[in-house]
Amino acid sequence: MTHIDPEALVAGLRRLRTSSPTTGIVQRLERAVDVVNSLFGYSGAGLMFAEEGKELRYLVATDERGRSLEGAQLHLGQGPCVSAYTENTAVTASDVRSDPRWPKLADRLHPEVRAVAGVPVRLGGQPVGTLNVYQAKPYEWDESDVQALYAYADVIEQLLTAAMAAEEKSALADQLQYALDYRVVIERAIGYLMGKHDLTAAQAFTGLRKQARDSRRRVADLAAEVLGEEAGESR
């Protein structure tokens, strides 16, 4: 059963509500996922969005393990989070590594991704993405877990609705598409850092994210700079 610290909940919601008006929707969504992760005490969290007329792509992941979960599902086109999106309902797995619904998923997951839960993020009643969490050990999700995730998915939906009211829908779509496209840049930067500094994917991703936070920059922008340095070195 999920136990939520009321003070942490209030503090987390306050941070989201007091975001600077100049803060982009993608940054606010990243902050929301960070709050979910710390608030509920799960091992990690992520957010996936669907491109218009296309399949899901991951937008935010709190760590490398979460990236493996999102990436594996996208590669195979199946998994609890993909099912949550396509079926427009909550989907849980107490141990995704042995769940017969997705037999090919385990081989592509980080070993510390075990229990997974996903709920749809909706606009106008239709799913546009999923909010996903995982546990490093097998875990029996109960109704309180599912309701807590639905409640926070509603917060994310409110962020999106407010953003759409504040700016043109096309501008919001452009921001989200920009973020989705730059996930490819982030992946390339992680690969470059792994080779250059003999790092694991987890170490490279964590270091890139920390440096971006410390310098108050977007991870995507820092990743592009890293790749620019790589191009300069190869000349």
pLDDT at position 53 over 60:
no
Residues contacting residue 36 through CB under 8 Å, at least 6 positions apart = 42, 45, 131, 133, 149, 152
Q: For residue range 100-157, what is the model confidence (pLDDT) as tens digits?
A: 999 999 998 989 999 999 999 988 788 888 999 999 999 999 998 898 899 888 888 8
Percent of the chain with pLDDT over 90: 20
Rounded-to-integer distance, Cα 18 and Cα 63, Å: 25
Query: pLDDT value at position 98?
Result: 94
Beta partners for residue 130, in sequence order: 48, 120
Rounded-to-integer distance, Cα 24 and Cα 162, Å: 12
User: Max Cα separation, the chain?
Assistant: 57
Q: For residue range 57-102, what is the model confidence (pLDDT) as tens digits?
A: 777 888 888 888 888 888 888 899 989 988 999 999 999 999 999 9
Residues contacting residue 38 through CB under 8 Å, at least 6 positions apart = 8, 12
For 213-235, what is the mean pLDDT? 76
Residues contacting residue 162 through CB under 8 Å, at least 6 positions apart = none
pLDDT at position 220 over 70:
yes
Mean of the per-residue pLDDT values for the chain?
A: 79
Residue 7 confidence class, pLDDT cut points 50, 70, 90: low
Nearest Cα residue to 19 out of 34, 1, 2, 39 = 34
Residues contacting residue 104 through CB under 8 Å, at least 6 positions apart = 76, 78
Residue 19 confidence class, pLDDT cut points 50, 70, 90: very low
State whether residue 110 is helix, strand or coil: coil
pLDDT at position 9 over 60:
no
**Please, what is the angle between helix 143-166 and helix 25-40, to 10°?**
160
Q: For residue range 162-217, what is the model confidence (pLDDT) as tens digits?
A: 776 666 556 656 656 666 666 677 778 888 888 888 887 767 877 887 888 788 88
Query: pLDDT value at position 6?
Result: 46
∠167-182-40 over CA atoms, to 5°? 75
Query: pLDDT value at position 125?
Result: 83
* Residue indicated by tokens 């109704």: 143
